[in-house]
Amino acid sequence: MQDAIEAFEVSHRYGDRLALDKLSLAITAKSIVGLLGPNGSGKSTFFRLLSTLVPIQEGVIRICGKDVSKELADIRKLIGVVFQSPSLDRKLTSFENIAFQGALLGVRGSKLQRKISELSKLFRIDEHLHTRIEKLSGGLKRRVELVKGLLHDPQLLLLDEPSTGLDPTSRLELWQAIERLRREHGTTVLLTTHLIDEADKCDRVAILDEGRLAAWDSPENLRIQTGQTVLQVVADRPEEVLPWMESHLSVRGTQVGNSLRFILNDRNIALTDLYRELSERCSSVTIGRPSLEDVFIAKTGKAFESPTINSKAK
């Protein structure tokens, strides 16, 4: 099966700042892939390159086998793009917004009517086609955006921070729609995100840090590779507890505020004595499996600084 996206040593600069540093990866067709990273990681720059908003400076990107630098017109027929910032006219109905996008894409007449009917049922907005955008919820607006981006049957759908501003219910409905799109239409989906739980739902995750690819695999494999157990403690004086625990566990810890995290690989490590000591030094102790946040910490040596769910990420 041909890869949907192939990137070879892609670098990009904004003046003196290196936003992407020799990024290389291949994304399989019909997969859902997340670009995970904090602000400044390079994910938005890579998204702009894929969506043809900015020219490629160094390296090669191919989409469905076509060179983005040499076959721009063909590439734009293959991709659908839903940006983080809304692109809907609030005073028009959902149908009017979608039909206007169809005119821009050259989709008209019976084909436009068929696609609107098909996609509005897929994303469950058929009962809201004649409602003005200003009266729709955030989740419904996002689904209207998806319909707009899919009118021309793109092979690749690019989503920039799709959950920004959505409540938990709307986020769940949006994700269900994305999975149906892949399952029923075979569309490849690539999304940028700063949300750990959202990246965890993807088939594969590319973790970016300061323009470099820090990790690339399925979420489950990344967790397995990172370690078997995560020990997290919260202390009033973490700077005093950290060196004692590092000595006791023989592993480096990571401090984020008053929280200390340790990734342990030995399933048989004895924690009884440690608990006794920690009960006098710490206010809470938790043990669990590694998360993608732990993967980021392990790969980069620093904490993953993620905004809250409803804040806007750049």
The secondary structure of 27-56, three-state, reads EECCCEEEEECCCCCCHHHHHHHHCCCCCC
312 lies in some domain: no
Q: Please give the angle made by the CA atoms of 127, 131 and 134, to the nearest 5 degrees.
A: 130
pLDDT higher than 80, residue 51:
yes
Residue showing tokens 């995970």: 36
- Output the six-digit token pair for 86: 């809304």
- Output the six-digit token pair for 276: 């006794």
Residue showing tokens 């007449």: 109
259 lies in some domain: yes
Pick the last residue of a domain from 192, 222, 252.
Answer: 222
Domain identity same for 10 and 85: yes
Pick the last residue of a domain from 222, 241, 263.
Answer: 222
Pick the last residue of a domain from 199, 222, 245.
Answer: 222
74 lies in some domain: yes
**153-175 mean pLDDT:** 87
DSSP three-state, residue 6: strand
91 lies in some domain: yes
Domain identity same for 33 and 49: yes
215 contacts 207 by C-beta, under 8 angstroms: yes
Domain identity same for 61 and 87: yes
For residues 191 and 282, which has the higher predicted lDDT (pLDDT)? 191
CATH code of the domain in which 284 resides: 3.30.70.790
- How much of the chain exceeds pLDDT 90, in percent? 51
Domain identity same for 101 and 206: yes
Rg (CA), the chain: 22
Domain identity same for 169 and 235: no
- Taking only the tens place, the pLDDT of each residue in 5-41 is 999 999 999 999 999 999 999 999 999 999 999 888 9
pLDDT higher than 60, residue 172:
yes
Domain identity same for 155 and 47: yes
Report the 10 Å Cβ neighbour count for 249: 17
Domain identity same for 95 and 195: yes
Domain identity same for 206 and 245: no
Domain identity same for 180 and 283: no
Q: What CA–CA distance (Å, rounded) separates 34 from 207?
A: 8
- Taking only the tens place, the pLDDT of each residue in 268-289 is 566 666 777 777 778 888 888 8
Domain identity same for 109 and 58: yes
So what's the pLDDT on residue 135?
A: 96
Domain boundaries, position 60: 3-222
Domain identity same for 191 and 269: no
Q: What CA–CA distance (Å, rounded) separates 185 from 153?
A: 9
Domain identity same for 44 and 153: yes
Question: How many domains in the chain?
Answer: 2
pTM of the model: 0.84
